[in-house]
Amino acid sequence: MTYQRVLLKLSGEVFGGGKVGVDPDVVNSIAREIADVVRTGVQVAIVVGGGNFFRGAELQQRGMDRSRADYIGMLGTVMNCLALQDFLEKQGVETRVQSAITMGQVAEPYIPRRAIRHLEKGRVVIFGAGAGMPYFSTDTVAAQRALEVGAEVILMGKQGVDGVYDADPKTNPDAQKFDTLSYDEFLARGLKVADATAVSLARDNDMDMVMFNLSEEGNIARVVQGEKIGTTVSR
């Protein structure tokens, strides 16, 4: 089964290839994979994270006001949006960035109905600046945007981890991977792969989430085609 309209969440870490900033080679290869999927007729909306630049909670720990730090975090996501837009358009895929914080020179404002229209025309829409609100995460925004634009599923691409485990697989060699997991179990276990607010929003609206490894080439196409990779979190 291939999805018709998906919301792809790309964590910021991926854009930096594990470092601070944007690695153009990495973004280019993600753009190529997304372009392949778009060419098959699937409508793709994207929410990008900003963890490769700044995370509000981390800046707060170092003495910064949380709200201001979160705004810095949101601005970081927009840089990722522009990099991805550039490489998608080099692939010949028309792309629009919509930002939750108005910045007319580089992005449209977030207008949900317009976003849906872009998708219907086969354009990729990239949502930047999170929700435009401190204390939120781009995971939560991914769930909200997926619901508002009528996506069938949230596909959460992670850097170097191929799904949800019962413990951190980077530090615990005995960690077991889940193929499927209910929203309630995800929340009860306090798992950190996705934000709890995002998972509870998905649960309350019965929106499936698939968490998969973005670092493995071809995975975006696989997950869009409904291949069972990663971990599906659902009812």
> Per CB under 6 A, does 33 bind ligand UDP?
no
Contacting residues for 173 by C-beta, under 8 A, at least 6 apart: none
Structure tokens at 4: 């018709």
Contacting residues for 49 by C-beta, under 8 A, at least 6 apart: 9, 10, 11, 12, 13, 77, 80, 137, 138, 139
> Per CB under 6 A, does 74 bind ligand UDP?
yes
- Compute the least distance from the CB of residue 190 to ligand UDP, in Å: 17
Integer Cα distance of 130 and 75 in angstroms: 9
**79, containing H or E segment:** helix 66-90
Integer Cα distance of 215 and 46 in angstroms: 17
Contact set for ligand UDP, span 42-71 (CB under 6 A) = 49-51, 55-57, 70
Contact set for ligand UDP, span 83-142 (CB under 6 A) = 130-131, 133-134, 136-139, 141
138 is in an annotated binding site: yes
- Compute the least distance from the CB of residue 66 to ligand UDP, in Å: 8
Sequence ranges of the binding site for ATP: 9-12, 51, 55, 159, 165, 168
Kindly list the residues in this chain that would bind ligand UDP in the complex (CB under 6 A). 11-13, 49-51, 55-57, 70, 73-74, 77, 130-131, 133-134, 136-139, 141
